[in-house]
Structure 1
Amino acid sequence: MSSAITAGILVHVETFYQPDYSNPMQSEFMFAYRITLENHNAFPVKLHRRNWHIFDSNGTYRTVEGEGVVGVQPTLQPGENYQYVSGCNLRTDMGKMKGTYQMENLHNKKLFLVEIPEFEMIVPAKAN
């Protein structure tokens, strides 16, 4: 699990290996991650975009950028949280991700970036 607070937004990440959707013989490893966002500010915020940096343990690197998360651009009032689950495929049994969310302060309409803390994705047998 990884957590970070940036500009009053807490980002908490949990990862899960998905053996039923993986094929190690073909170098296909699927992971799910659950992200919880909490607004610790005194103003509402809206998530506009995401930008991911994905690293396989073989040195492969890629980025994924786009609007919202899982097809939505959630708004969080002060004290509210939002949770979603998504996934990432790797070509190796270990990797990591990190990134940023572009969010908007809905009171003053200013955009700001929120850090998504780096988190690891490791096949459970590999961790032993």
Structure 2
Amino acid sequence: MSESEKYRIKVTAVAEYVPGQSAPEEDRYVFAYHITISNTGTIGAQLLSRHWVITDGAGKVQEVRGQGVIGEQPALAPGEQFSYSSGSVLETPVGTMQGSYQMVAADGHRFDAEIPAFVLAMPRVLH
């Protein structure tokens, strides 16, 4: 069995604009995002930390690093998934987020689970 089969974490993200918390006239655009982390590998793994790269429409980059997600460090057996929601504030009506979760497998192997880039966009800004 290859390592890529053992240590496989799939991350999916859905983002939405939150108009009630945004203030476009003050360059404040609030987005919620909903993440699902699935262990599609053959060995259990625990999420230790996160690294986000958030880029707004003007090219300004914020990097965020921290322990766990929403105060948790979920452990996922093969076939299990963990979902959570969080948010981000941008100064532009559009941006992107991407990054990685730092994981440790049940056998002690450490690896990164990629978070594919996803778009944060106010409705009707992108065509």
Q: TM-score, normalised by structure 1?
A: 0.92
Give the match for residue 125 of structure 2.
126
Distance in 2 (CA, whole Å) between partners of 1:73 and 1:15 is 22
Alignment-derived partner of residue 31 in structure 2: 31
- Unaligned 5+ segments in structure 2 are 1-6
Alignment of 1:78-97 (within 5 A): 78-97=78-97
Letter matched to residue 35 of structure 1: I
Determine whether 1:13 maps to 2:13. Answer: yes
Deviations 1:3-46 (A, max 9, x none): xxxx4111110001000010000000000000001111121110
Give the corresponding residue for 2:108. Answer: 109
Per the alignment, residue 42 of structure 1 pairs with: 42
Cα root mean square deviation, aligned: 0.8
- Quote the offset at 1:110 in angstroms: 1.2
Show structure 1 runs of 5+ residues with no match: 1-6
Q: Percent identity?
A: 38
CA distance in 2, matches of 1:115, 1:59: 21
**1:125, distance to aligned residue in structure 2 (A):** 2.1
Q: Can you list the C-alpha shifts for 1:56-90, whole angstroms capped at 9, x where unaligned? A: 11121110000000110000011001000000000
- Which residue in the other structure is 2:51 paired with? 51
* Equivalent in the alignment of 1:3: none
